[in-house]
Structure 1
Amino acid sequence: MDQAETLRNIIKLQNQRTVTNARVITVTSGKGGVGKSNTSINLALQFQKMGKKVIILDADFGLANVEVMFGVIPKYNMGDLIFNGMDIKDIITEGPEGVGFISGGSGIAKLVNLDKDQVKNLVGKLSQLEEFADVIIIDTGAGISPAVMEFILASPETVLVTTPEPTSITDSYALLKALSMTDSYDSSVNKVKMLANRVSNEKEGRNLYEKLNSVVTKFLNIKMEYLGHVVYDDNMTKAVMSQKPVTIMYPHSPASRCYENIVSTLETGHAVSQNAGVRSFFRNVFSRKMKNGD
């Protein structure tokens, strides 16, 4: 093989890599305390077991739920990437089973103060995540804050964690209502999938979805899908107290089997979008923040 042919093959491989977009999944909830971060972590671990490389971005700024649940203290966070000139690979902390995570810190919250050149540089750095991961899971804060809405609007896939508690149902509806009232929301681009958490069985999970979806369909311009359910499991509480994910501490528990089924459903229904990927996701998030800061 001559030098020219070698060069052509390298270019070909690079071109192939640019169209292979990492998958971005945003996990959110209408209120805190419904198991959102647990969902992010255990879905990540199940994807990893399937041979995917996964990175979680903890976008619940200031609370550090992911690192607490992993029992790992990160040395760096997003602020170091934005303001201290660090590379993306330097701020990725390795968690259990090889799952990487990025601590949010307060870095992204300060994006309204960045100029366009700084944002362009930041998007370029974050786009490099595709070199390290097949799946990026964004663990947002709870509720309908502007930061949460921006992540949902930028994401092609959003998992909405809801429990049977009346407050969880009403707050999930409030989040969906706020989403439907946003001009940039497009149901054909932003897919919302409800996960029924802490239910007794599959039937209760399906009923919870039908209950919420009937109101959403009647009053909102949103098409919501049912993703699946996670049963109430005492092993989950034990795992949280031990700062270990339930799918690692109790891999054969009822909740762990539910997470396995959910990831299988996500994989089965996944279609690659040419507009998806890390670069597109972060460009959308940060351009919106720039506009909101003007």
Structure 2
Amino acid sequence: MAIKKMDIVGRRSYNCDILFRVIDIVEKDGRQVAYLYGEYIRLAADAPIEDLIVMGMAEMQKLTNEYRSKEEQSLELFRQDVTLLKQRQEYQATGGYANLTNYFQIPGKVLHLDGDQTYLKKCLALYEKIGIPVFGIHCSEKEMPERISGFLDYYRPDILVVTGHDAYSKAKGKKSDLNAYRHSKQFVETVKEARRKVPSLDQLVIFAGACQSHFESLITAGANFASSPSRINIHALDPVYIVAKISFTPFMERIHVWDVLRNTLTGEKGLGGIETKGVLRTGMPYRPEYAQEGE
């Protein structure tokens, strides 16, 4: 079967362990090469056409079910965390339930920049399911550094996500060499520009990176959380689980890194960060007669 753009394929040389979408097919050194984006993993790759196989429905469904099972497990663990956080907040807001005053909560507002429109839609659906206010923008990784300042001025978020596709290429240099990565350099420059705008690590919480990204450079540039310490692949939805924990943690509390990572799909090999304050704020009284639906 001929390979064409937007086909879902696997790589024979890797035992078809990851589902990829074919983004483009080009002539390179006298043979056809396909550019690939992971369907569930934030990985960019290329491969000769002869190494690819169009995945059948049975194989696709099997891998899809595995990923969705992991997603649901992470979502359930996160919901349990949020329930405990809300119970603790209710106890504190009411003086140990002594004063039954109505109160309201304002979770942290997220600006999510994503180099992949399909991933962005998946992430926005999860933000909505969890109940996090978010602005999502599809923006190519190369354009992010020059556009981030304007986005921050316009949206004024509490949390910034800078993600998309990335990959480390051994042929281009050592793992310590930023130039050996597909988009890590652009992510680093975007974080630096954001920090020029908002220097404080607590006034703007930043997650940056994708699969195999240069973790150390992103943290040094000013990200609170980043990928990928062990240069492994991360799941498309991992950034959402990171910022959701931050969004629902009160601003007077500090979040230990493990508390953020434990419910992600990738864990500490693919994600890391520094101790960070939450951004949730509680107020009172809550006046339901003035509340708009959806607020």
Tell me the TM-score normalised to structure 2 length. Answer: 0.36
Q: Which has the higher strand share?
A: 2
Q: Which has the higher helix share?
A: 1
